[in-house]
Amino acid sequence: MPGGNPSGIHQAFPQSVQPFFESVMATKDIVLDHVSIRFGAYTAVDNAHLVIKGGEFFSFLGPSGCGKTTLLRCISGFSDPTEGRVLIGGQDMKGIGPNKRPTALIFQNLALFPLMSVSDNIAFPLEVRGVGRKDRRKRADELLEMIALPGVGDKKVHELSGGQRQRVAIARALAVEPDILLLDEPLSALDLKLRHHMRTELRTIQQQVGLTFIYITHDQGEALTMSDRVAVMNAGVIEQVDPPESIYNRPKTSFVASFVGESNAIEGKVASQAETLVSIETPLGRLQGQAAGGRQYKAGDDCILFIRPEQLSIGDGLPNAVTANWVKEEFEGNSRQLFLEANGVPLRLSRVNLGGTADTRSGAVVPVGFAPDQAIVLPHGVLAGA
């Protein structure tokens, strides 16, 4: 990253910084106790009930308008629940404003002051609290060292790169020694490469300072890469809360299966079930997959079989064999995306790019298949983007 040492943040904190964080290592659980938030007749959040553990990197993931930012504002104290309670460290937050809660909030636009120096930006919350200039400068210098930007305190914000400004915003939030850092899509304005770099740095900062991070995003890559656990939201409802691998590999609803990552969704009706193996009748013939979460189905139940593009293979003699027409191929650098069609059902197959040239079998008939234990069968439900 220009103007800074991108690897410096991954080093252990210097001794001068350690005392600053000793008081914030004992983090607090956040409880959303059946929280509903309504604006007139519109329900933005519907009966959210979960515990965010102290010291956890927790993400709310979902499309725009699903209620995740509304929940963040409720945790931070900028809005109140219509029903239910928010508890932090066992204390009901009702009537406690944002400035009295053990939280700090980083907005999408970072809200740094362009006419102030970097150090003054970081120290501004301390100035508001009446901390003397000498102590403010000392704390700012410690935090700049922590975020691997020593010596830039006298610069103006416009002299920093996007990633450096992001780190300054984090340092300013940490200056007030919060127990909980709330981040509302803070990487959305950065380019793709810098977003990837910054999500690694954010996770490293969180692990080293031991604070609770609550992160709002619609970017699946951010949520899956950084989080200890993820809550997937849709239309104000929390559909699933689990570690990232469980969210991706073992989705519990059709929305989660279709929203997180790419997935082929094949609708059908249950023919039979033997333990966790479910046979379903589909437009592509009879296919088999695993019942998600040990669910029991009855013959005739409407369901959807989900199979990831990377789990589809081309070849003869495969299980769950399907004959498909080759539509097109798209080159994405590290992978090739193959778009197929079988009896009116679109299928997508992903292959790692091993070099060579594009396959030009447009219109050709190809055999594809997948292992039953790689497919998830879920009850028929709302799909993402539907």
Range in 230-239, 318-327, 333-342 the model is least confident about: 333-342
Mean pLDDT (the chain, rounded): 87
SS3 category, 44: strand
Contact yes or no for 203/222 (Cβ under 8 A): no
Instruction: Please indicate whether the domains covering 8-249 and 254-379 agree at the CATH topology level.
Output: no
Give the DSSP letter of residue 355.
S
For the segment 100-118, what is each residue's pLDDT rounded down to a tens digit? Answer: 899 988 877 777 888 899 9
Distance of alpha carbon 110 from alpha carbon 58, whole angstroms = 20
Is the model's pLDDT at 291 over the cut of 90? yes
User: Would you list the domain boundaries of the chain?
Assistant: 8-249, 254-379
Query: How much is the average pLDDT of 190-205?
Result: 81
Alpha-helix residue ranges (DSSP H) falling in the chain = 18-22, 68-76, 118-128, 133-146, 162-174, 192-209, 220-226, 244-249, 254-259
- Tell me the per-residue pLDDT of 40-68, one tens digit each, with 9 for 90 and over: 999 999 999 999 999 999 999 999 999 99
The first and second tokens of residue 207, run together, are 């692990």
Whether the pLDDT of residue 299 is over 70: the answer is yes
- Tokens encoding 251: 């989705």
The tokens for 325 are 């027409």
Confidence of residue 357 (pLDDT cuts 50, 70, 90): low
- The predicted model gives 73-86 an average pLDDT of 95
Contact (Cβ atoms closer than 8 angstroms) between residue 27 and residue 55: yes
Say whether pLDDT at 6 is over 60: no
Mean pLDDT across the stretch 279-308?
95
Query: Residue 261 gets which letter from DSSP?
Result: S
Better pLDDT: 167 or 284: 284
The yes-or-no verdict on residue 157 having pLDDT over 60 is yes
Burial of residue 260 (number of CB atoms within 10 Å: 0-12, 13-18, 19+): buried
Distance of alpha carbon 68 from alpha carbon 233, whole angstroms: 7
| CATH node for 254-379 | 2.40.50.100
Tokens of 66: 């699903």
The CATH architecture annotation of domain 8-249 reads 3-Layer(aba) Sandwich (3.40)
Q: Residue 26: pLDDT above 50?
A: no
Under the banding of pLDDT at 50, 70 and 90, the label for residue 241 is very high
